[in-house]
Chain A
Amino acid sequence: MNEEDTIAGGRDGPTPLDQEQAAADLDQSVADREQALADVDQAAIERNQADLADERESANPGDFASSVKFTQRQADLDYCQARSDARQDQIDQAQAGGDQRQELLDDQQRARERPRASAPLSARVLEAETQVRGRDAARRAKNARHRAQQALRRAEAAELRAQALLGRR
């Protein structure tokens, strides 16, 4: 087999590993899109919360009707935030699963590439691809840590909202 064959896959086209990677890439792209949509929703929730806080501050404290509307809007925002948090938790879990899957694929890919490492050109290409995979893995790890921190923040915020609701009662 020549280097092109070994690099570009078998003569029969994409290998199962390639197909698996393609599926994983599609999963990741869908997950990224889900995350982007979730981020837009979260930004909207935070914007609405800030607007509500501003309106509350400038409202007449003795106006009961306004107080009722603010309470109801806050309840609605709390509900939206809870849904957003749950959705984000799902996205995070899916991402964690996808990261694990990618790790597995990376391992399989490395195992597949090891025999080809002796060829100079293949070695350079493989080295580059390894570095890319390494950077991707580091990025995934960093993102996982960020997701964990955000999950903790969301949990704390949810706890505060629950306490506030109890306090209002």
Chain B
Amino acid sequence: MRAPSAGAAAEVAKGDVVPAGGSHQRSVLDLLDEGVIVLDTRGRLLQANDAASLILGFNPETDLVAWGAYREQAGPDSWPAVLRTGHAIRDTPLEVDRPDGTRVALLLSCSPLRDPEGAISGFVQSFRDVTGQADEHRRLAATEDRLREAHEVARLSSWEWAPDTGVVSIFHALSGEKSSPGARATLDELLEATPPEERQGTRDDLEGMVRGESDGSVRRSRREYAAGSAWLETRTRAVRDGDGRLLCVRGTTQDVTEQELSRRETVHARDFFQATLDSLAAHIAVLDDDGEILLTNRAWADFADANGSRPIGLGENYLAACDAAVGDEPATRAAAGLRAILSGSEAEFSMEYPRHSPTVDRWFALRVARFDGHGDARVVVSHEDMTERHRAEDQVAMQAALLDEVDVAVIATDGEGLVTHWNQGAERLHGWTFAEVVGKNAVELVSPPGAGEAEDFSGDLRREGQRRGEFTARRKDGSTFPAFVQGRLMGDGRSRGAIWVLVDISERVASERALVAAGNFMRAIADSMGEGLFTIDTEGRLIYMNDAGADLLGWTSADLLGRVMAPVIHSRLPDGPDLAFADCPIMRARRDRRTVRVDDDVFTHRDGGLIPVAYTASPFETDEGIEGCVVVFKDIAERKAQEERLKLEAGTLAWIGRIRSALAEDRFVLHAQPIVELRTGEVVQHELLLRMREADGELVGPAAFLGVAEEYGLIGDIDRWVIGRGAEIAATGLPVQINLSAHSIGDQSVLSHIERSIEQCGAEPSHIVFEITETAIVADAQAARVFAERLRSIGCRLALDDFGTGYGGFTYLKQLPVDCLKIDIEFVRDLATNLSSRHVVEAVVALARGFKLQTVAEGVEDAGTLELLGELGVDLAQGYHIARPGPLEPRDPPTRGGTTRE
């Protein structure tokens, strides 16, 4: 029979008033398995049963210390809470320490004791020892925790679906899942948590299991959560009974995000690795420890043997393929090397081998390397086409051999400037062998001691990476020579070396010096020439001009250097040909590549004056391909002047003959120009003007022959003829004015001739006015005075012609018996427009009046001038406006408007 529980005792105590104490009650209480303690309203112990002592490990009734400790541990949650609330408490878990140090788990209940009035009179505490259950609970809780933790660690949710009930039991849910452990859901609810695109597939899987078509499935999907996305893998497994009937379907959903990402990384890395391999030109294969090909790149896949054999591929054994190539020496060596790698005796193996085709030689390099990392060891085999490198090496070798044949020094140095390479050309140029210079400072070797050129070169090379130029190099025997060197840094970082190429330029320097010397010599010759010399290029630009040329043209070389010479040497005369500069003789000489000589051309001086020149233009072409033209010219102005003089003299001599002939043949004629009196408008005189009739009847004016006549002593004869003829005309009663030359003024015989002519003709002397120029009078005033006085005594009159144009000083008029002043045309022509001319005419008139002389204005060409002359008081006037000179018959007086050819 089972002992009554403390709860039962409390139930009794609840409804009935049970006084404290009583042996009956105690015996009952001692029968209970549960500990029972009766307390008063103050919590003082009244009674405790044996079970309480047993459970607590001490007798509460006797061990007051332990009892006090128990009361503290029981705390306010026991009888104080009941006292406070008035309600019992049930199965409150409590752990207390026993005096022996052990710990006991209790389920504590406490009920109030009431008196008949219902007031609380005490309390009954009952408790069960649930230490074993607590341990079991803890183990279960720990197990549950571990299970939960495992689920959490594994990111796993688990569920079970019972197809007969359709209920899904959730054992564990992932964070973020809507379901929670212990929850139950329908299948639709479970599928609702599945991504829409997978729901039907999952439903099909389950239904397939129900139908017995499958016993499980695996699905992986991506789900989006608020916190992000995750990859989940759902595995389902059908649980069947012995008859194969489906009992349930258990499923787990695991968060495989990391795995998925890792898988994707692996795939990406693998693809990247494959793409990297495929990008390589070399033919690469990865082998396992047995030589089986695990991986190849695209180049390997495309690789074909020179004989067209099929390349071995994935899954095939490369080592076996090498062994199978019997008689193929490279394959045999490759196999041996691969075995050494596979066995671990070697880490790397490489070799070069030929694979020549009938049309082209090809070279390949085989490299085999082992790498050990995570996982199985692997061997990498690569074949690289070395054909181009072989060809480049062959070419370099050939070039090096060529360089060794010519005198070009090729010197290589390391980063410290020490010689690492010294070709045969360097040996020949400098005299040292490679063995003597290797490891020595190149700058100290090739440059003379103390010279800074090489150091400067090295410094520039380090700064700029390359350097070229000329410097003085040294030989082993100490002699030096001019050299041209070009250097370039090679490599990078701290291991930069340099390579120098050096050429002996002694011959070139000597040639240049000779050329300069020759140029100086030629320049000295050119500058010593009296003729001008200049050279121009194909465009006509000045290259050089000597001093004589500069003097003749008025330009310096600096002025014209580089300038197109057209403005200077291509002068166009108004009556010359209109040639373009490119077609002028000098440019044509260069263009046609032939020497041209021109005896009469014109250059232009700097001041614009034209220089008559004669020149020779010769084309030239230098060794450097410079083309141009050399022109040697001289000023022929003197020659041309002499030619003009000769021509003039010839002309003059001709005129002398013509004058003499005219005199002898009486071919001079006198034309007359009327002179009118301004006051009356009547013609009062005629000026006789000389003409010469040529043999052909053509009339020639005096300007053409009078100068020659005066120079060659014929003027006196002409004057005499004019005097005679004029006297004849005057004898007809016509007052005339006759021009006499300055020569006649000093010739006494002329005066005699005048007297004779007048007497012979019977002319009235007062009808004859002799004109002599003011200039002639001023030239010999004394002779003029004598002449004038003699004329006055004869009865003739004297007029001063071209009056006002002398050089000033009219005082001679006081001593000279002049009758008339003829105002020069210079002052009459612009009388109406030039106030100065008017003032001169006024002054002449005033002077004439002062000396009681007549005034005649010459060269009246318009009515306004004629009128103005009258206003100014001029006495007489002549000019084209009045009448032109015309032939005059001796007995016929001339009329107005008579004309003749002037």
* A interface residue numbers (CB < 8 A to B): 13-14, 16, 18-23, 25-33, 35-37, 64-65, 68-69, 71-73, 75-76, 78-79, 94, 97-98, 168-169
A30, B564: Cα distance in complex, Å: 51
Given contacts A25-B847, A98-B808, A169-B556, contact A69 B567 (CB under 8 A): yes
Which residues of chain A come closer than 8 Å to B567, judged between CB atoms?
Answer: 64-65, 68-69
Residue-wise interface mask of B (590-610) relative to A, using a CB-CB cutoff of 8 A (1 in contact, 0 not): 000000000000001111110
Contact with A along B821-857 (1 / 0, CB 8 A): 0000001000000111101101110110111100000
Say yes or no: A37 contacts B813, CB within 8 Å: no
Q: Are A76 and B846 in contact (CB under 8 A)?
A: no
Assess the A30–B840 pair: CB atoms within 8 A.
Answer: yes
In the assembled complex, the CB of A78 is this many whole angstroms from the nearest CB of chain B, namely 8
Q: Does B490 reach chain A (CB closer than 8 Å)?
A: no
A76 to B608, CA, bound (A): 7
A23 touches which one: B559, B568, B810, B839 (CB < 8 A)?
Answer: B810
Find chain A residues with CB under 8 A from B605 CB.
72
Tell me which residues across on chain A come within 8 A of B810, comparing CB atoms: 23, 26-27
Q: A14-B850, A26-B810, A27-B809 are in contact. Are A68 and B568 (CB under 8 A)?
A: yes
In the bound complex, do residue A26 and residue B847 qualify as a contact, i.e. CB atoms below 8 Å apart?
yes
The answer on a CB contact under 8 Å between B604 and A72 is: yes
Contact present for B566 and A22 (CB under 8 Å): no
A-B contact pairs, 14 of them (CB 8 A): A13-B852, A19-B850, A21-B850, A22-B846, A23-B850, A30-B808, A31-B808, A32-B839, A36-B834, A37-B836, A68-B606, A75-B607, A75-B608, A79-B607
Q: Tell me whether B811 is interfacial, beta carbon within 8 Å.
A: yes
Which of these, A19, A33, A37, A168, contacts B814 with CB under 8 Å? A19
9 more A-B contacts (CB under 8 A) besides A26-B840, A68-B567? A13-B852, A19-B850, A22-B850, A25-B846, A27-B809, A29-B839, A68-B604, A75-B608, A98-B808
Q: Which of under 10, 10 to 19, 20 to 34, or 35 or more describes the interface residues of B?
A: 35 or more
B836 with A76: CB separation less than 8 A: no
Measured between beta carbons, the chain B residues less than 8 angstroms from A25 are 843, 846-847
Per the bound structure, the CA–CA distance linking A18 and B606 in Å amounts to 55
B847's partner among A23, A73, A76 (CB-CB below 8 A) is: A23
Rounded to whole Å, the gap between the CB of A60 and the closest CB of chain B is: 14
CA distance in complex: A163, B559 (Å): 17
Give the contacts of B608-645 with A (CB-CB under 8 A): 608-609
B90 contacts the other chain (Cβ, under 8 Å)? no
Q: Which residues of A contact B563 (CB under 8 A)?
A: 64
**A residues less than 8 Å from B809 (CB atoms):** 23, 27
**B843 and A28 form a contact (CB under 8 A):** yes
Q: Contact check, A33 vs B827: say whether CB atoms are below 8 A apart.
A: yes
A44 to chain B, nearest CB (A): 16
In the complex, which of the residues A19, A22, A36, A76 contacts B607, with contact meaning CB atoms closer than 8 Å? A76
Interface pair B604/A33, CB less than 8 Å apart:
no
Residue of B nearest to A16 (CB): B814
> Given A27-B809, A31-B808, do A72 and B606 touch, yes or no (CB 8 Å)?
yes
Q: Is the CB of A18 within 8 A of B850?
A: yes
Bound together, the chains give a CA A82 to CA B842 distance in angstroms of 32
**What are the residues of chain A within 8 A of B827 when measuring CB–CB?**
33
Residue of A nearest to B606 (CB): A71
Chain B residues with Cβ under 8 A from A13's Cβ? 852
B residues within 8 A CB of A23?
809-811, 813, 847, 850
